[in-house]
Amino acid sequence: MFSYRHAFHAGNHADVLKHVVLIAALDHLLEKDAALTVVDTHAGAGLYRLDGDYAGTSGEAAEGVHRLLATKPEGGAYSPAVERYIELLRDFNPKAKTAAMRVYPGSPFIAQHLLREHDKLKLFELHPTDARALAGNIAQLEAGRRIAVAHEDGFNSVASVLPPPSRRALLLCDPSYEIKTDYARVAALLEQALKRFATGTYAIWYPIIARPEAHALPRRLKTLAGKAGKPWLNATLTVKSNRVAAGAAALAETRRGGLPASGMFLVNPPWKLKEQLAAALPQLTAVLGQDKNAGFTLEAGD
């Protein structure tokens, strides 16, 4: 149950997609003065060393964030959403050249970096080692009550955090999907969240692998959003062929750094997000693509 460690995968192409979307969504939500609560159901350790043993073993950052930083896109400039992501990474690596970036911020530290004094950040992490690392990393910020860290199963977080007092929230759910029941739990979490707080923004990361549950998940999420009468946005990034064997072989391929594609599904997305991703996704595909099967999709529903 506790074999997955995100430290092995920090800065890979899936992180690039997830964090480009997350930053763009938060930037729009933070344009309003009212307080925002951000909930991260599977927070991980929060900060990662790309020159450490874990990331060095997998080398996934080399085909993800390092490639992005070292490559000039066609036309010479990245789109605003991608450039904003790069700008934030440089904030965490002020003395490093792009090719020597050592620190990669996970979603908790990206959110903390963007949030204001009156906003709240609630972090859940069940893995015992990562939970200890997360608590230690957050403690260094001396953020007081603005950031709450819980060594708990984030799938059970909805009842305790929604709706927030400010009635404005973004919930990020990005489990490892190490256990195939995670797919059903993600759908159940969204269903419960929409019942408790229908106007919240919900962002769900998911892998695209040869597993029936993985293919069914975005369809289930679209159905849930439709039943609730809420708009949705689904962005995917494929970097190489996804023709891998089903079941255990697909999961093993993912663990070897072979994840071919991933997606971000949002309910109640900020209204400008689709436009920004329409400009960002072709660039991410061109720069991060590893074979002729590289591509992207961007769908929206009302």
For the segment 1-46, what is each residue's pLDDT rounded down to a tens digit? 444 557 778 999 999 999 999 999 999 999 999 999 999 999 999 9
- Based on DSSP, count helices (H) and strands (E) in the chain, helices before strands: 11, 10
The answer to whether the beta carbons of residues 265 and 203 sit under 8 Å apart is: yes
Asked if residue 58 belongs to a known ligand binding site, the reply is no
For the segment 222-274, what is each residue's pLDDT rounded down to a tens digit? 999 999 999 999 999 999 987 643 444 444 444 444 799 999 999 999 999 99
Split into its structural domains, the chain has a count of 1
Q: Which amino acid is at 48?
A: Y
For the segment 174-226, what is each residue's pLDDT rounded down to a tens digit? 999 999 999 999 999 999 999 999 999 999 999 999 999 999 999 999 999 99
- Domain membership of residue 180 as a residue range: 6-301
Distance (Å, rounded) from C-alpha 252 to C-alpha 250?
A: 5
Asked if residue 113 belongs to a known ligand binding site, the reply is no
Distance (Å, rounded) from C-alpha 97 to C-alpha 109?
A: 21
Give the CATH number of the domain where residue 40 resides: 3.40.50.150
The answer to whether the beta carbons of residues 267 and 201 sit under 8 Å apart is: yes
Asked if residue 42 belongs to a known ligand binding site, the reply is yes
Asked if residue 9 belongs to a known ligand binding site, the reply is no
> Please, which pLDDT band fits residue 55 given cuts at 50, 70 and 90?
very low
Q: Which residues belong to the active site?
A: 174
C-alpha distances out from residue 241 to 102, 146, 258, Å: 29, 43, 10
Distance (Å, rounded) from C-alpha 292 to C-alpha 154?
A: 37
Asked if residue 154 belongs to a known ligand binding site, the reply is yes
> Where are the strands (E) in 58-200, listed by range?
103-105, 120-124, 147-150, 169-173
Distance (Å, rounded) from C-alpha 129 to C-alpha 134?
A: 9
> Please, which pLDDT band fits residue 107 given cuts at 50, 70 and 90?
very high
Distance (Å, rounded) from C-alpha 270 to C-alpha 254?
A: 31
Task: Flag whether 257 is in a domain.
Answer: yes
Q: Does residue 108 surpass a pLDDT of 60?
A: yes
Q: What is the mean pLDDT of residues 87-98?
A: 84
Asked whether the whole model's pTM tops 0.95, one would answer no
DSSP state of 214: H
The answer to whether the beta carbons of residues 230 and 268 sit under 8 Å apart is: yes
Task: Flag whether 1 is in a domain.
Answer: no
- Strands 201-207, 103-105: pairing is unpaired
Q: Does residue 57 surpass a pLDDT of 60?
A: no
